[in-house]
Amino acid sequence: MKKLGLIPKLIIAIILGIIIGSYLPSNIVRGLATFNSIFGNLLGFIIPLIIIGFVVAGIADLGIGAGKMLGITTIIAYVSTIVAGTLAYLVSSKLFPLFVGGTNVINAVNPEDKLLAPFFVVEMPPVMPVMTALILAFLLGLGIASIKGKTLYNIAFEFQEIVEKVIKNIIIPLLPIHIMGIFANMTHAGEVSRILSVFWKVFLVIIALHFAIIFIQFLIGGIATKKNVFTLIKNQIPGYLTAVGTQSSAATIPVNLQCAEKNGVSKSVREFVVPLGATIHLSGSTITLTCCAVAVMLLNNVTPTLPQMVGFIAMLGITMVAAPGVPGGAVMAALGVLQSNLGFTEAQLSLMIALYITQDSFGTACNVSGDNAIALMVDSIKTKFKLDKNNKEVELEA
């Protein structure tokens, strides 16, 4: 089973959950509900630590290596992420109500509700609220970048490593069991068939939005560099397919560099922007998270408002900088924003994790494709403003 990837494990977990919920006694479902309660509380406990562990290190690392080229790339990546998230919200808010009907099953936590209650509850109160963790993380990250001190910088990265090990060795391995329990309970409540019938349509919309944002990004890159957009996209296909297969932005970097070279991006820019984009630019992930969040809210009779979603997408764009390099890293980094901005419960967060990871390959492919479009834009700016030819510390001339 070790060699089995996370997505196959989640698919098997969903199938087993449906079988258990359909045919096995309710006490078994309650046993899984008890595990889910413990796991959900653990997830709630770890969320503020994930925020501090990754946001502090992410912002501090960007700041310490800051130069004008870094600033330009980061701004373009952030704007791209915001545009992708906004497009996803505008489309999903119009389309999803046509086929997503409301239910309270995902929110049900009491014995009188549809979902079976756990046998017992183990309380794990977090050390601080999510918003406190976000503010503290921004303050520490910006402060470390400003003073350029190495002590706190090293502490931040060591703490990040601890949190990443918790995610890799505890959260991710136990996630399939948790998902199995969720689907067993939802099946027992008689709601799983309708939820699954909704989300395959949601996924089709997400994939279509991925292709749309890739086209928009390369269209802008093509206009900036005066190159044919269809040729640029054709050259990107190997990078896209590699990302689908590996489900990793980092593993796709070598192929993505070759794609950037085919697109005529200068060596200094592609070797700087492509690896950086793999860390800070997640437009595809933002589309997925936004669409899934809207769908989950609609399933719970909650209609997302524009101000609410604008704040969510703006915060999401920042936390994406800190997405850890583990399967489903983007959704892990986004858990705090989902909880603080949209009020998601542990059950809704768990469903978001499952929904996100099952299509993570396509989100990653969209992310890395956008990285090369950004490389084209940065290369155009480099040419226009005549960047330092040494390119050791790439900065605009005064």
End-to-end CA distance of the chain: 58
Asked whether residue 390 is assigned to any structural domain, the reply reads no
Which of 77-81, 125-129, 186-190, 328-332 has the lowest average pLDDT?
Answer: 328-332
Asked whether residue 1 is domain-assigned, the answer is: no
pLDDT over threshold 90, residue 342: no
CATH at residue 42? 1.10.3860
pLDDT of residue 150: 82
- Indicate whether 391 belongs to any domain: no
Q: How many domains does the chain have?
A: 1
Give the whole-angstrom CA distance, residue 280 versus residue 73: 9
Residue 83 lies in a domain: yes
Identify the CA nearest to 296 among candidates 232, 230, 350.
350
Each residue of 6-17: pLDDT tens digit? 678 878 888 898
pLDDT for 397 equals: 37
pLDDT confidence tier of residue 220, bands split at 50, 70 and 90: very high
Range of the domain at 247: 6-385
Q: Does 392 fall in a domain?
A: no
Domain membership flag for residue 221 = yes
Which stretches does DSSP call E strand in the chain? Answer: none
Asked if residue 310 belongs to a domain, the reply is yes
116 located within any domain: yes
Tokens 């960007």 correspond to what residue? 62
**Each residue's pLDDT tens digit, 102-122:** 555 455 433 335 667 888 888
Q: Write the DSSP assignment of 236-277 as a string of letters.
A: HHHHHHHHHHH--HHHHHHHHHHHHHHTT--HHHHHHHHHHH
